[in-house]
A and B are shown apart, each in its own frame.
Chain A
Amino acid sequence: MHFAFTDDQKMFRDTVREVLQRECAPEVVRATWEGRPEGVRAVWGTLAETGVIGMTASEDAGGMAMSELDLVLPLEETGYAALPGPIVDTVAVGIPLLEAAGTDAQKERWLGPAVVGEARIVVSFEDQAVVPHAASADVLIAQRGGAAYCIPVAEVSVSPEQSVDRARELGRVAFEVGAQYRMREDVDAAALFALGRERAALATAAQLIGISRRMLDMAVQYAKDREQFGKPIGAQQAIKHRLANALIEQEFARPPVYRAAWSVATSARDAGIDVSLAKIYAGQAARFVAKEALQVHGAIGYTIECDLHMWMKRAWALAAAHGDAAYHRERVGRHIL
């Protein structure tokens, strides 16, 4: 038993952290809110150069053939930065799906560009009509009627939907379910998409940890800076205890996320249950930290001017995405009861 990341994994996380700190400041997230996603385009390019975008791709495809275990810490950083864009879809789900189920022609066309950051992949699971970042992506991988399809976004009809988190740029997708888009038929598409769902839930949980950490950092900083009654509000025990509770929620959400990453990476037995725990705890922590962080900020936190709102809204959206707590709790319940 050894429950820790390697030095390499931590170093890679630090690199990603630095890139995002430099290139994905809150103004960049805010610009996406206001319909100016250019900054995010630039970050995406740097992340590709750093190797993050191609992490899960095979070495033949120019990637690093890395697993979920390597991926969770960088993804946590993307949550910390509230990076807009389909990084979960592209890196955690899309590239592995494309490699496993893409025809030679599909791989030829999309895999290389995806790895170098020139093509962004979004994924639509069966029954999932609304897809974040669909309009600005390049290729859609979708499951319909059990089968797998790979469609250039140019040939998909995407009608915008408004997310409470404007940086998620939701789009309702529709396309002609035609043979020309079919992915390989000699693979078990159902199993691959089922695994894709686990990966999406896990990756989202990892981002949620980063989102919690950012909101808590903001709240702690604010509690040190803001003075009332002649002293920092953070000297008041009521504030201290809220923030202590937030930290406990956040720190106890980590081990289930990291464990699930290991379980998916090693195809451990009951990996899906581990993913459910990860998603439940990470979602719960993020929602809790959001509430506490808002309370600590007072009225300024209740504005769009204060950056906090972008993380809160991301937290709410992601806590419910890829299976909310009720969905995952039910899955755990069926397993243990």
Chain B
Amino acid sequence: MDLNFTDSENAFRRECRSWLEANVPRESLPSGDTKEGFALHLQWEHTLFEAGWAAVSWPKQYGGREATLFEWLIFEEEYYRVGAPSRVTQNGIFLLAPTLFEFGTDDQKERILRPMARGDVSWGQAWSEPNAGSDLASLKSTASRVEGGWRLNGQKTWSTRAVFCDMAYGLFRTDPEQARHRGLTYFLFPLHAEGVTVRGVDRLDGDEGFAEIFLEDVFVSDADIIGEVNQGWQVTMATTSSERGLSLRSPGRFMATAARLIDLYHRYRDRSDPVLRDEVIQAWMDAQVYRWFTFQTVTRMTQGESIGPDSSMNKVFWSEMDVRTHETALAIIGEALELDEGSDGAVDGGHWMKGFQFALAGPIYAGTNEIQRNIIAERVLGLPRK
């Protein structure tokens, strides 16, 4: 065990820090879940890519730096520490790319990765359907064989930022004879093609961050399948741990939130009481513990262990921590918490209330926390399924 960063890890941190401090936009960008904000965020993604910071852990040939997992965590810490813009490319870079690295062909990686990381082609996730949420395997959208490819039909929903995206990925039923998990295939498909209708849906915070996707005979070629036909479930599950754990929610984000909470606490100290003080301390400690938990996990990964269902514990922890932290912030702000973005009296630009609303989604997306607890009970503790 050595809990010091190595010299080269420290050097990497300094390099990240100095570039980010020099380049991160001074003014924070409008929400990336709005049309205008999304475009501005993509410009920022482009800047990141040009300097080689868009996807630090990727191979150099796709625009990465071949950073180790620890270096990637360091990059994230620095990224959030300086308050850099949220990553609107995350569904591509952090969720689709790991799948491509594991199951994609060379041609797919060549075609997809660079434009994704440059912010030229943005990706939405299309798993959920109106009647397939937690029970994703019951999904009904289909792909039928036609000359030279497939035709997609059906409806997807809750697709984050899809109304601003160019492409999406998701599961489609390719063998209607087979039940549930079998007979599904992982497809990439265009959002601006014939037969596709994308309708934005306003989220709780008022941004048009969700979309419904209607597909009518949308053509895709064989080259748009990831992995084998009818193996889509396995492909999807192999990388769900990315979403539950590490790559979607690295500790840097929560450490930065905790640091901002402490700053808020100091500014509103006259409003505070011992209970709030304890909650602030707890929030800081939770972020620390999440960081060390992650370092432990990443060490296991670098030793070649697979994390498997353990990632469900991660997901429950970060999502519930994030809610508590924001609740504490709102309790410190008090009455002014209702003053929304754009109001003069809004504390920190209304940022905490917006963050709180988004934090509330954490226990829902990426597999609800009830589902994670089922997974922990059944697959980690070995309790009977029925």
Chain A residues packing against B (C-beta within 8 Å): 1-6, 69, 220, 223-224, 231-232, 234-235, 237, 239-241, 243-245, 247-248, 251-252, 254-256, 258-259, 262-263, 268, 277, 280-281, 329, 332-333, 336-337
Contact of A3 among B1, B289, B373, B376 (CB under 8 A): B1
Residues of B with C-beta under 8 A to A263: 3
Fill in one digit per residue for B255-291: 1 if any A CB lies within 8 Å of its CB, else 0: 0000000100110000000000110111011001110
Q: Is the CB of A255 within 8 A of B2?
A: no
Fill in one digit per residue for B373-386: 1 if any A CB lies within 8 Å of its CB, else 0: 11011101111111
Contact of A251 among B265, B278, B313 (CB under 8 A): B313
Residues of A with C-beta under 8 A to B381: 220, 240, 243-244, 247
Which single residue of chain A is at the shortest CB-CB distance from B5?
A1
Indicate if B214 sits at the interface (CB-CB under 8 A): no
Indicate if B293 sits at the interface (CB-CB under 8 A): yes
Indicate if B101 sits at the interface (CB-CB under 8 A): no
Would you give the shortest CB distance from B297 to chain A, in whole angstroms? 9
Contact of B284 among A2, A259, A336 (CB under 8 A): A336
A259 to B291 CA separation, bound complex (whole angstroms): 11
Which single residue of chain B is at the shortest CB-CB distance from A4?
B299
Would you give the shortest CB distance from A101 to chain B, in whole angstroms? 28
Q: Is the CB of B313 within 8 A of A248?
A: yes
A251 to B284 CA separation, bound complex (whole angstroms): 18
Q: Is the CB of B383 within 8 A of A220?
A: yes
Q: Is the CB of A2 within 8 A of B316?
A: no
Q: Is the CB of B289 within 8 A of A245?
A: no
Most buried by A among B266, B300, B384: B384
Which single residue of chain B is at the shortest CB-CB distance from A219?
B381
Contact sample, A vs B, 19 pairs, CB 8 Å cutoff: A1-B3, A1-B299, A3-B295, A3-B296, A4-B299, A6-B1, A231-B384, A232-B384, A234-B384, A244-B372, A244-B380, A245-B373, A247-B376, A251-B313, A254-B296, A255-B289, A255-B292, A333-B277, A337-B281
Indicate if B224 sits at the interface (CB-CB under 8 A): no
Indicate if B9 sits at the interface (CB-CB under 8 A): yes
Most buried by B among A1, A258, A262, A337: A1
Those 8 A-B pairs whose CB atoms lie nearest each other, nearest first: A240-B377, A255-B292, A244-B376, A244-B373, A234-B383, A235-B384, A3-B299, A3-B295
Which single residue of chain A is at the shortest CB-CB distance from B288?
A277
Which single residue of chain A is at the shortest CB-CB distance from B302?
A2
Chain B residues packing against A (C-beta within 8 Å): 1-6, 9, 70, 262, 265-266, 277-278, 280-282, 284-285, 288-290, 292-293, 295-296, 298-300, 303, 310, 313, 316-317, 370, 372-374, 376-378, 380-386
Contact A258 to B1, CB < 8 A, known contacts A4-B303, A337-B277: yes
Would you give the shortest CB distance from B306 to chain A, in whole angstroms? 15
Most buried by A among B3, B262, B372: B3
Contact A1 to B292, CB < 8 A, known contacts A244-B377, A333-B281: no
Q: Is the CB of B9 within 8 A of A1?
A: yes
Residues of B with C-beta under 8 A to A336: 262, 281, 284
Residues of A with C-beta under 8 A to B377: 234, 240-241, 243-244
Q: Is the CB of B385 within 8 A of A255?
A: no
Q: Is the CB of B265 within 8 A of A1?
A: no
A232 to B373 CA separation, bound complex (whole angstroms): 18
Q: Is the CB of A248 within 8 A of B300?
A: no
Which single residue of chain A is at the shortest CB-CB distance from B266?
A337
A223 to B384 CA separation, bound complex (whole angstroms): 9
Residues of B with C-beta under 8 A to A5: 1
Which single residue of chain B is at the shortest CB-CB distance from A332?
B281
Q: Is the CB of A4 within 8 A of B296?
A: yes
Q: Is the CB of A231 within 8 A of B296?
A: no
Q: Is the CB of A277 within 8 A of B382?
A: no
- Given A243-B383, A332-B281; 20 other pairs, CB 8 A cutoff: A1-B3, A1-B4, A1-B9, A1-B70, A69-B1, A231-B384, A237-B374, A240-B374, A240-B381, A241-B370, A244-B373, A245-B373, A252-B293, A255-B292, A259-B3, A262-B1, A277-B285, A280-B285, A333-B281, A337-B266
Would you give the shortest CB distance from A319 to chain B, in whole angstroms? 16
Which single residue of chain A is at the shortest CB-CB distance from B305?
A4
Q: Is the CB of A1 within 8 A of B6?
A: yes
Would you give the shortest CB distance from B22 to chain A, in whole angstroms? 26
Q: Is the CB of B289 within 8 A of A281?
A: yes
Residues of A with C-beta under 8 A to B380: 244, 247
Contact of A241 among B6, B281, B284, B373 (CB under 8 A): B373
Q: Is the CB of B383 within 8 A of A4?
A: no
A279 to B380 CA separation, bound complex (whole angstroms): 25
Q: Is the CB of B3 within 8 A of A262?
A: yes
Q: Is the CB of B317 within 8 A of A252?
A: yes
Contact A337 to B280, CB < 8 A, known contacts A1-B295, A3-B296, A258-B1: yes
Which single residue of chain A is at the shortest CB-CB distance from B321?
A252
A252 to B3 CA separation, bound complex (whole angstroms): 17
Q: Is the CB of B265 within 8 A of A337?
A: yes
Would you give the shortest CB distance from A274 to chain B, in whole angstroms? 9
Residues of A with C-beta under 8 A to B2: 1-2, 262
A220 to B377 CA separation, bound complex (whole angstroms): 9
Contact A252 to B284, CB < 8 A, known contacts A235-B385, A241-B373, A241-B377: no
Q: Is the CB of B376 within 8 A of A248?
A: yes
Residues of B with C-beta under 8 A to A1: 2-6, 9, 70, 295, 299
Would you give the shortest CB distance from A68 to chain B, in whole angstroms? 11
Residues of A with C-beta under 8 A to B285: 277, 280-281, 332
Q: Is the CB of B295 within 8 A of A255?
A: yes
Residues of A with C-beta under 8 A to B280: 337
Residues of A with C-beta under 8 A to B282: 329
Residues of B with C-beta under 8 A to A337: 262, 265-266, 277, 280-281
Q: Is the CB of B378 within 8 A of A240?
A: yes
Residues of B with C-beta under 8 A to A247: 313, 376, 380-381
Would you give the shortest CB distance from A270 to chain B, in whole angstroms? 11
Q: Is the CB of B70 within 8 A of A329?
A: no
A81 to B280 CA separation, bound complex (whole angstroms): 36
Q: Is the CB of B265 within 8 A of A259?
A: no
A254 to B303 CA separation, bound complex (whole angstroms): 19
Contact of B300 among A4, A232, A252, A268 (CB under 8 A): A4
Most buried by B among A223, A231, A243, A247: A247
